[in-house]
Amino acid sequence: MTKGRTYGGHPRVLLEKIDKYSWRIPQKYKPGMRVPGLVLADEYLLEKMKTDRTLEQCANVAHLPGIYKHAITLPDGHEGYGFPIGGVAATDYEEGVISPGGVGYDINCGVRLLSTNLSEEDIHPYLAELTNTIFNNVPCGLGSRRKDFRLTIHELDRLSTEGVQWVIEQELGRPEDAKHCEENGCMKTANPDKVSTTAKNRGLSQCGTLGSGNHFLEIQKVEKIYDAKVAKVFGIDHEGQVTVMIHCGSRGFGHQICSDYLRVMERAVHKYKITLPDRELACAPGTSNEAQDYYQAMACAVNYAFSNRQVITHLVRQSFEQIFKKPADHFGLGLVYDVAHNIAKIEEHKISEKVTKVWIHRKGATRAFGPERKEVPSDYRAVGQPVIIPGSMGTSSWVMVGTSKAMDVSFGSTAHGAGRMMSRSAAKRRFWGGDIKKALEQRGIIVRSASAVILAEEADPAYKDVEKVVDVSDRVGIATKVARLVPLSVVKG
């Protein structure tokens, strides 16, 4: 933990301007920095970052043993725990470290997008009923759990090991769903023996639940297409087209795995004599048992989160069937893509002209691989992977596409969302849940929420402008605009 800095009195971080959208925190800013920091932001977003410890945390990440090139803060960067949220760090596979803080508590918090063949006018008469049905079918809010779909420990182990494929085998998905997930919906390194009983107990009844906080499910329409050629490849072919977005993570299962391994890493820091500027950067050498155990447990949570979004997808498809009395595939409802926002993995990147194996930490960051990478599904490989960026409640969300530029600049990564800028308590003082709901409804957006308090805390002005985040990503070229989506209805925890 950083001592001697009072809360609110943020240190002035040394910054050098590289160009309009990039800034460097030079290595000389702090004596222990092994590489510089790279901040991708315009003036507006940079000013927001200066109001909390985002930039200081970026400089702290640059201390990690084995880190390559630079510690990256993306346009949506804001203060996190140890690592800023909206950041990327790559460390050497053999000489570098792996840190649970570089992934976060909500392992594989992420988002998936479904496309339909419906237009806004087709769905409009049924929208309220459909939203209610989804709200009733998908448990959400405080302590949301499933009463009907409770896993046994054995089933949970299989789900953690096999991911989305196992869920599909339980008849909760279509065979083609798995290949439209990052990692094909399963990290093969998962090993449930590395997961504590407490984590498993938390996970038994939460698969297929949305949870609380910033998580949501939206029925949306395509408001504007920016890149028609790529949009078509992703299954988005006209403005007004209806889509469904699901934003959630690995629930208590992932939170507990993170917490358990933070303890392990604290001990590892002492054991391997690693010097760090912040307790929450706790890490272990990638080749150590501690790191390998974490990586195998983390992969279980990654698979749990993919599976969670898969079960919710099934519930959404069922809800359409209930309302329209026709099979779900009649409306499309195919999976465009499922992306992780909080994840660590082994990837190969070109560093100083040499292909190098690294541990990639993406915390509040989306993979944005460009064309021809083998990790991108075959049907998207010619154009690059879909990058899905959720906005805050009631604002726009975006479909972008990964680029070759991202491979050079940001280890194939871009931003993950709007990023908060107002505290929850300030939002509650400024807004009242009922007013927020009314304001959204005046704009024709239907809102169903388990909690009025959450509506106030998640009010749109509490977040940075997602448009600005997306603009910077597009101008820097680390993911470019494909389509803008706006909500027709929102289901909220």
- CA-nearest of 116, 115, 283, 314 to 209 is 314
- The pattern of x and - marking residues 370 through 409 that bind other proteins according to CB under 8 A reads ----------------------------------------
Exactly one of 36, 82, 96, 110 binds other proteins (CB under 8 A); that residue is 82
Query: Among this protein's residues, is 416 annotated catalytic?
Result: yes
Provide, rounded to whole angstroms, the least separation between the CB of residue 397 and other proteins.
Answer: 19
Q: Using CA atoms, how far apart are residues 411 and 408, in angstroms rounded to an integer?
A: 6
Q: At CA 221, angle to CA 220 and CA 226, rounded to 5?
A: 125
Residues in CB range of 399: below 8 A, 6 or more apart: 113, 231, 234, 236, 336, 386, 387, 388, 389, 482, 483, 485
- Residue closer to other proteins (CB basis): 18 or 142: 142
Contact between residue 292 and residue 94 where contact means Cβ atoms under 8 Å apart: no
252 binds other proteins (CB under 8 A): yes
Exactly one of 37, 65, 75, 80 binds other proteins (CB under 8 A); that residue is 80
Q: Using CA atoms, how far apart are residues 50 and 12, in angstroms rounded to an integer?
A: 8
415 binds other proteins (CB under 8 A): no
Q: Using CA atoms, how far apart are residues 117 and 450, in angstroms rounded to an integer?
A: 29
Contact between residue 482 and residue 173 where contact means Cβ atoms under 8 Å apart: no
Sign of CA dihedral 27, 479, 398, 135: negative
- Residue closer to other proteins (CB basis): 127 or 199: 199
420 binds other proteins (CB under 8 A): yes
Provide, rounded to whole angstroms, the least separation between the CB of residue 449 and other proteins.
Answer: 9
Q: Using CA atoms, how far apart are residues 77 and 461, in angstroms rounded to an integer?
A: 17
Contact between residue 295 and residue 98 where contact means Cβ atoms under 8 Å apart: yes
218 binds other proteins (CB under 8 A): no
Exactly one of 11, 141, 371, 477 binds other proteins (CB under 8 A); that residue is 141
Q: Using CA atoms, how far apart are residues 104 and 344, in angstroms rounded to an integer?
A: 10
- Please state, in angstroms and as integers, the Cα–Cα distance from residue 264 to each residue in 225, 259, 449, following that order: 47, 9, 37
Q: Which stretch binds other proteins (CB under 8 A): 22-30, 165-173, 385-393, 448-456?
A: 448-456
56 binds other proteins (CB under 8 A): no
- The partner residues of 218 in beta bridges, in order of sequence, read 245, 490
| The pair of three-digit structure tokens given for residue 448, joined into one six-digit string | 């169903």
For the chain, the distance separating the N- and C-terminal CA atoms, rounded to the nearest angstrom, is 32
- Residue closer to other proteins (CB basis): 156 or 262: 262
211 binds other proteins (CB under 8 A): yes
Q: Name the residue type at position 366.
A: T
- Residue closer to other proteins (CB basis): 79 or 474: 79
Exactly one of 30, 63, 69, 78 binds other proteins (CB under 8 A); that residue is 78
Q: Which stretch binds other proteins (CB under 8 A): 216-224, 257-265, 290-298, 476-484?
A: 257-265
Exactly one of 4, 7, 9, 152 binds other proteins (CB under 8 A); that residue is 7
432 binds other proteins (CB under 8 A): no
256 binds other proteins (CB under 8 A): yes
**Which residue in the list 78, 215, 255, 416 is annotated as catalytic?**
416
Catalytic residues: 416
Which residues of this protein are in contact with other proteins, per CB under 8 A? 1, 7-8, 52, 78-82, 85, 105-106, 141-145, 198, 201-202, 206, 211-213, 252, 255-256, 258-259, 262, 279-280, 420-426, 450-451, 453-454, 457, 493
